[in-house]
Amino acid sequence: MTCTETSALANWGNYPKTRATLSYPETPGEARQAVLQHARIIARGNGKCYGDAALGATVLSTLRLNRLLNWDAANGIVHAEAGVLLADLLDRIVPDGWFFEVTPGIKNITVGGAIASDVHGKNHPAKGCFSQHLLDFDLLRADGETVACSRTENPGLFWQTCGGMGWTGVILSARFRLMRISSVYMRQTAVRAPRLDALFEAFDAHRHLPYAAGWVDCLSAGDAFGRGVVYFAEHDTTPSPLQYPHKDTRNVPFYAPAALLNALTIRAHNHMLFSAAKTGEQRVDLDRYFYPLDRIRNWNRLYGRRGFIQYQFCLPEAASPDGIRKVLETIRKSRDLPFLSVLKRHGERPVEAIHSFPERGYSLALDFPRTKTVFGLVNQLDELVWQLGGKIYLTKDACSAARMGRVDPAAFGEPKFHSLLKERLLQDK
């Protein structure tokens, strides 16, 4: 039976916070009732987007629509309800020798969330976004009808929904393909780059390796400006026992004081990340390579109760080295310093994947504590990224200008599916 509650709600960045009435349907029929009952509603998976996407006055949580409908271990095809977590699938698929073709840097997200943000991983040039491996899904529409969507059946709605941030309806279930693995290990090569141009050279020199993600020291100056470490990897092909290597997690039990992350502590943290990085080749397990942040539960509390903003932008390839230099220079002149950063290389966006975030080039994700001044910095970064022909990732967005996502919510024609993100973008147009 559908359970309903009213409570305070936020996504991973803990900003913004809102009060919402949440319903938790357990069956597609109950989801239909919830959609018909409310003039406005938005689907929510596990709330691991950062900003205001999965928030609204009325929210439909899919967390109880979480049945694995079929697991075809011979062909590596998952059929799951939208609320199934990728983390839960790992225990089922890895022992049978399969892994996700595309996974974001977090495993506690739902299948519905992976589709609605069209998530990407560290292997975008090789494997694209989640939609590339998606076979079909059932979509609950505003009139209560369920529509089957695939590349051949309702293809327009299929592509509108991938990366469509929940604005086309509620994804009820989906089928997607996996990739074969014979080991739970990755062969990782870490490269320490003493300057920004060396970081880009490292990405270029290791194009043959399918996975890559880098960290940039956004506070380094002089000859070390833009230094960082890139972690490249490929799947190890030497067979190993196929148990998913769950790691012990640590917890951040309380919200940290706002002053914890300051120039001094961030500098010390960056120094440690750069000098302690173990360079060269080593064998690391899937959990350590793909989901390092999942090992600290509630790490978002390190930013304190005021929360944080993640600013993830993507620039065209030719504009990337100089553009990212300009972004780092802008940040260095501001009072707002990012604690975490992730640099990724991206391949071509398929033309039909109209709402996918990554474009051929590079993206940089930056986590800033939410201060009074950070919104001014975001305005400046928006202007710069826009001038350089870039865009931002809507699933991380909490305060960018409406144009920056390069997606128009008004074009979705479904007023019922309404989030805070949609409202903000429509108001800002």
Interface with ligand FAD (CB under 6 A): 11-12, 42-49, 53-54, 62, 82, 104-106, 109-110, 112-113, 116-117, 119-121, 165-166, 170-171, 293, 395, 419
CA–centroid distance for 312 within its chain: 10
Q: What is the DSSP letter of 60?
A: E
Min dist. Cβ of residue 328 to ligand FAD (A):
21
C-beta of 220 vs 353, nearer to ligand FAD? 353
What is the CA 365 to chain-centroid distance, rounded?
10
CB 85 within 8 A of CB 108: yes
- CA 119 to each of CA 163, 171, 366: distance values in angstroms, whole numbers, following the listed order: 8, 15, 17
- Least separation in angstroms between residue 147's CB and ligand FAD is 13
Give the pair of three-digit tokens for residue 330: 């802008």
Radius of gyration of the chain (CA): 21
Tell me the two tokens of residue 189: 């090569």
Residue closer to ligand FAD (CB basis): 120 or 187: 120
Whose Cβ is closer to ligand FAD: residue 104's or residue 226's? 104
Compute the least distance from the CB of residue 305 to ligand FAD, in Å: 18
Structural tokens at position 218:
């956004």
Report how far residue 293's alpha carbon sits from residue 361's, in angstroms, rounded to the nearest whole number: 24
Minimum CB separation from ligand FAD for residue 300, in Å? 8
Q: Which is nearer to ligand FAD, 160 or 395 (CB)?
A: 395
Residue whose C-alpha is closest to residue 308's, from 297, 317, 299, 295? 299
Q: Which is nearer to ligand FAD, 120 or 133 (CB)?
A: 120
Token pair in block for residue 22 = 């949440």
Q: Minimum CB separation from ligand FAD for residue 398, in Å? A: 12
Decide: helix, strand or coil at residue 228. Answer: strand
Expressed in angstroms, the distance from the first to the final Cα of the chain is 40
Nearer to ligand FAD, 126 or 198 (CB): 126
User: Least separation, in Å, of the C-beta of 417 and ligand FAD?
Assistant: 8
What is the smallest separation between the CB atom of 298 and ligand FAD, expressed in angstroms? Answer: 11
Q: Among residues 12 and 159, whose Cβ is nearest to ligand FAD?
A: 12
Q: Could you identify the residue written with the tokens 């929904």?
A: 161
Quick one: 250 or 332, whose CB is closer to ligand FAD?
A: 250
CA atoms within 13 A on the CB side of 113: 29
- How far is 390 from 356, CA to CA, in rounded Å? 13
Residue with the two structure tokens 């270029």: 204
Q: Shortest approach of ligand FAD to residue 105 CB, angstroms?
A: 4
| Cα–Cα distance list, 428 to 13, 30, 375 (Å) | 21, 34, 15
